[in-house]
Chains A and B, each alone.
Chain A
Amino acid sequence: MDLLRERLIECGWKDEMKALCRAFMKKKGRSNVTVDDLVHVITPKGRASIPDSIKAELLQRIRAFLVQASV
């Protein structure tokens, strides 16, 4: 999990999500937003915008772990 977090910070994904959250809060007004709203709005965009290189790296690691664990 830590590796994923690090990669997402490195590629700027976290900053982009932060910017999207800020924009959303500006639109709605600071007092009218709950964590639920934010998560609801941000999640689909976040899932869609993960760079392929990160997906590939993590899949590769999971595969390697499964192979090594099944032996």
Chain B
Amino acid sequence: MSSTINHLHHHHRIDGQISPLTSSCPHLADFRSRNGAKPFRALQDCLRVKPPGGRAGIRREPSEVPRCAACGDSSPSRLYACVACAAVFCHAPSGGPSHASAHAASMPLGGHEIAVDVDRAELFCCACRDQIYDRDFDAAVVLCQSAALKSAITVQSSGNPENMRKRRRVDYRPWSPDVRERLLMDNGSSVLDCEIDRPRGLRGLNNLGNTCFMNSVLQALLHTPPLRDYFLSDRHNRYYCQLKNANGMIKGVKLCLACDVDAMFSAVFSGDRKPYSPAKFLYSWWQHASNLASYDQQDAHEFFISMLDGIHENVERDRGKRHGDCCIAHRVFSGILRSDVMCMACGFTSTTYDPCVDISLDLEPHQVTAHGKTSAKSHPSSNSEANGFSSTQIPTTSTLIGCLDRFTRPERLGSDQKFFCQQCQVSQESLKQMSIRKLPLVSCFHIKRFEHSHTRKMSRKVDRYLQFPFSLDMAPYLSSSILRSRFGNRVFSFEGDDGDDVAANEMSSEFELFAVVTHSGKLDAGHYVTYLRLSNQWYKCDDAWITRVNENVVRAAQGYMMFYVQKMLYYRASAQVCPS
């Protein structure tokens, strides 16, 4: 296929990948020039959408069973209808008979090269023997599929999409200091001491009695770029905190968790290398989460949620605030999940938006090989693609990407989980699909390794290894991508109702890993350790002991919580330069 860049230089996304609109098939261009303004007009009447929310197909009569005109076969998986003369032919992949290609070749004047897949409504060029894309055709198909679906959006959460649309954009103005500002900068700053051995801000945390669950999460948060920048630029000053004095009198004690966090940041980034004891913070957190106040080992994820909640709780209650503007914890971690539930009887879709501060993922179930034996790789293995193709084995390593795929896959709600359909006015079986409407600045992925079974009154830990990438592109899991994929392979610019969110998402769907909280040991007798990535070096933070480690150690670790920050906010300076 030719790969000349289209003159229009359009960039569009297919399945989340940006690609220039290349390789316009010459036969398609020829077909369009022969057939005038609406070359696919005839096909429009033959578009049938299998309800509900199903694929679009091409049928001359609604109940037509397409057969190959040459061999009468209706069983091959791909049948193509010639757009010029509506004759249907089969096409087998390279090597096999292709009556479709023969048909195209048999027309001396040409014009019969373009065909359409009768089951998928996708264009095909019989001469190039490959799939092609046309904007007008795909627009018509999408229109037809959308008309078959009726949907409503119900907003059940506190975050109202109306507010999000009013976000004003500030124009970018570049800045460079004038003479006075430069003088201020020189006078007010001091040269940082050389940090070859260890970057500033790395400081061990003493274990105060089974508090590794807290230390591990604190280490990750102390190095969460937007959070670190917020506190180090004095955005919450513990000496002038109004909130502490106004709100927080609990049992006669002034309580503001953010003030204690501020104190911690000051201590950890002070340059002092002795391990720090977060006793004051622990005491404050116990005040906030009194049900967890003990020296027992706790769950690190539960602590994480509780801590964010504590920072949020002390903020003034302001109903009018936009999503995520209430407190720094939500500004950094809060995203919006979209849930679509589609009735399988009538196609009516109910959509809800819920804010979330992290995403909890199930580990994939054991994979089954071709011979029916279950296998679960519990040792780290290289990425499945690198192994090449073995004829009977399916790659079985669990990956974070795999978990995210499963999270956003359409899930059937069976007969025991029927959903009340507003259109049918009765409970029906439905299809549920999750997607991400708005990405947070920092994504925290929590792997559900602790299984608590009420029925069997036991809990267990799943130790299975999970491969996670250092760089992650979240584009395929966005609502815009998920919605787009429901229409098949289309070249069509979908106008979302999202507006600003879509633009913001598409600019910033790339994430970089900066912290991994790992758990080793058993359910009730285990230990949490955090790996931090600073200046592209990895450091192991095991309570009071900080050591530099090779990145392969991190890759092989058993991830429990993974923290990814938007690439724009992450500085990947590969080496510290020491002023000579």
The residues of B that contact A43 with a CB separation of less than 8 Å are 93
A11 to B406, alpha carbons, bound, how many Å? 10
The residues of A that contact B391 with a CB separation of less than 8 Å are 44-45, 48
The residues of B that contact A11 with a CB separation of less than 8 Å are 368
Name A1-18 residues within 8 Å CB distance of B.
2, 6, 9-12, 15-16
Given the known interface contacts A16-B394, A31-B23, A45-B391, the answer about A40 and B94 at a Cβ–Cβ threshold of 8 Å is yes
CB of A31 within 8 A of CB of B394, answer no
A57 interface residue per 8 A CB criterion = no
CB of B93 within 8 A of CB of A12, answer no
| Beyond A12-B364, A15-B402, A34-B1, 5 additional pairs, beta carbon < 8 A | A22-B385, A23-B385, A44-B391, A45-B389, A49-B369
- Selected contact of A19 from candidates B94, B364, B395, CB within 8 Å: B395
Select from chain A the residue with minimum beta-carbon distance to B401: A19
CB of A48 within 8 A of CB of B370, answer yes
The 7 closest A-B pairs by CB, nearest first: A34-B130, A23-B385, A39-B93, A36-B93, A40-B93, A36-B94, A31-B3
Chain A, interface size: which category? 20 to 34
The residues of B that contact A40 with a CB separation of less than 8 Å are 93-95
The residues of A that contact B409 with a CB separation of less than 8 Å are 9, 15
Given the known interface contacts A12-B367, A31-B1, A49-B370, the answer about A36 and B129 at a Cβ–Cβ threshold of 8 Å is yes
A64 to B22, alpha carbons, bound, how many Å? 50
A61 interface residue per 8 A CB criterion = no
Q: Interface on chain A toward B: helix, strand, loop, or mixed SS?
A: helix
Distance to closest chain A CB from B430 (angstroms):
13
Q: Which residues of A contact B (CB under 8 A)?
A: 2, 6, 9-12, 15-16, 19-20, 22-23, 26, 30-31, 34-37, 39-40, 43-45, 48-49, 51-52
Give the A-B contact count at a CB cut-off of 8 A. 66
B405 interface residue per 8 A CB criterion = yes
- Selected contact of A6 from candidates B364, B384, B385, B412, CB within 8 Å: B412
A37 to B129, alpha carbons, bound, how many Å? 10
A40 to B93, alpha carbons, bound, how many Å? 6
Distance to closest chain A CB from B97 (angstroms):
13
CB of B370 within 8 A of CB of A35, answer no
Given the known interface contacts A26-B385, A37-B94, A40-B93, the answer about A10 and B130 at a Cβ–Cβ threshold of 8 Å is no
CB of B1 within 8 A of CB of A15, answer no
Distance to closest chain B CB from A14 (angstroms):
9
Distance to closest chain B CB from A5 (angstroms):
9
B537 interface residue per 8 A CB criterion = no
Distance to closest chain B CB from A2 (angstroms):
8
The residues of B that contact A16 with a CB separation of less than 8 Å are 394-395
A26 to B383, alpha carbons, bound, how many Å? 14
CB of A51 within 8 A of CB of B368, answer yes
Given the known interface contacts A34-B130, A49-B394, the answer about A15 and B405 at a Cβ–Cβ threshold of 8 Å is yes
A19 to B130, alpha carbons, bound, how many Å? 20
A-B contacts, 29 of them at CB < 8 A, read: A6-B412, A9-B410, A12-B406, A15-B402, A15-B405, A15-B409, A16-B394, A16-B395, A19-B384, A19-B395, A31-B1, A31-B23, A34-B128, A34-B131, A35-B124, A35-B130, A35-B131, A36-B93, A36-B94, A36-B129, A37-B93, A37-B94, A39-B78, A39-B93, A40-B94, A48-B370, A48-B392, A49-B394, A52-B368
